[in-house]
Amino acid sequence: MTKLLHISSSPRGDASESLRIAGVFREAYEETHPRSEVEHWDLWDRSLPDFAIGAHAKMTVFAGLAPRGAEAEAWAAARRVFERFDSADHLLFSVPMWNGGIPYVLKQFIDVISQPGWIFDVDPATGYAHLLSDRRMRVAVVYSSAVWGPGLGPEFGTDFQSTYFSDWLRWTGLTDISEIRYHPTLSGDRECARHAADSAARDLAKSF
Ligand SMILES: Cc1cc2nc3c(=O)[nH]c(=O)nc-3n(C[C@H](O)[C@H](O)[C@H](O)COP(=O)(O)O)c2cc1C
């Protein structure tokens, strides 16, 4: 059975625009893919482990050694997070802009799963190898913001949200990436922007 994993990074529940748009995607996906499974992973549900000891374990692994004791436990906890991510056939991320970038739980998720041998390898001469590049995963990302918008000047902020996140996705080797955007801006027409985002979400879900 094909599994779509929705990974969300807004803590705002019913008030969240990115969750609402992702909900539109999921509803259309479920209608058009009745035999697929859809799983929702709310990154604010405290399922992400702390990565302080994990950072030591990562450097131990880089040094070619096996993590032991508390490091081994932290490494195993990170591996469980990676395996849940890796169990998906397709991914849907919903990502609000926070201070020009992404919410810190999503960065925590990235820092926990982006490990040598799982997501990447690195060679002194040839640089990074992207270990998910043989996966045929499709990825949809809902981006939302309230002030920044494409076409506005730097006085409304800079987009380190989608630039950073799509760079990370590509770095893992995932390249089949589609974006759904909701950037009403402070002076824009919210209803019109909502309608356009919902419609883009529906169309993309049907094509998945
Ligand atoms: C902590 C925080 C930081 C934010 N920073 C920005 C920002 O830098 N630029 C921007 O345009 N909007 C910013 N916003 C507004 C959100 O990006 C916008 O309301 C978005 O739609 C929120 O997504 P959500 O409704 O799914 O939570 C911020 C909101 C919060 C809560």
Best residue among 9, 98, 164, 165 to mutate for probing ligand 1's pocket (most ligand atoms within 8 Å of CB) is 98
Q: Whose CA is nearest to atom 3 of ligand 1?
A: 98
- Is the four-CA dihedral 150, 96, 178, 187 of positive or negative sign? negative
Strands 120-123 and 127-130 come out as antiparallel
CA–CA gap between residue 68 and residue 83 (Å, rounded): 20
- Reading the block at residue 59, the tokens are 């450097």
- Residues with Cβ < 8 Å from 121, sequence gap 6 or more? 128, 129, 131
Burial of 158 (0-12, 13-18, 19+ CB in 10 A): exposed
**What is the structure's pLDDT at 85?**
98
Torsion of the alpha carbons at 191, 195, 201 and 204, rounded to the nearest 10 = -150
State the average pLDDT for the chain.
97
pTM metric for this prediction: 0.97
Distance CA(168)–CA(184), nearest Å, equals 25
User: Is residue 146 within 6 Å of ligand 1 at its C-beta?
Assistant: yes
List, for residues 19-44, the tens digit of each pLDDT value.
Answer: 999 999 999 999 999 999 999 999 99
Q: What percent of the chain has pLDDT over 70?
A: 100
**What is the pLDDT averaged over residues 73-84?**
98
190-207 vs 17-32: helix axis angle to the nearest 10? 30
Instruction: Compute the distance between CA of residue 208 and CA of residue 88 in angstroms, rounded to an integer.
Output: 14
Establish whether residue 152 lines the binding site of ligand 1, counting it when its CB lies within 6 angstroms of any ligand atom. no
Q: How far is the CA of 148 from the centre of ligand 1 (A)?
A: 9
Among all chains, which residue has been given the structure tokens 């880089």? Answer: 62
pLDDT in tens, 157-181: 999 999 999 999 999 999 999 999 9
**Ligand 1 lined by 161 (C-beta under 6 Å):** no
Which of 98, 91, 111 lies closest to 7 in space, CA to CA? Answer: 91
Closest approach atom of ligand 1 to CA 18: 26
Q: What is the DSSP string of 133-161?
A: TT---EEEEEEE-SS--TT--GGG----H
pLDDT at 71: 98
Of 135, 143, 206, the C-alpha closest to 176 is 135
9, 105, 147: which to mutate for ligand 1, most atoms within 8 A of CB? Answer: 147
Q: Which backbone phi and psi does 118 adopt, to 5 degrees? A: -105, -55
Residue 18: its pLDDT value, please?
A: 98
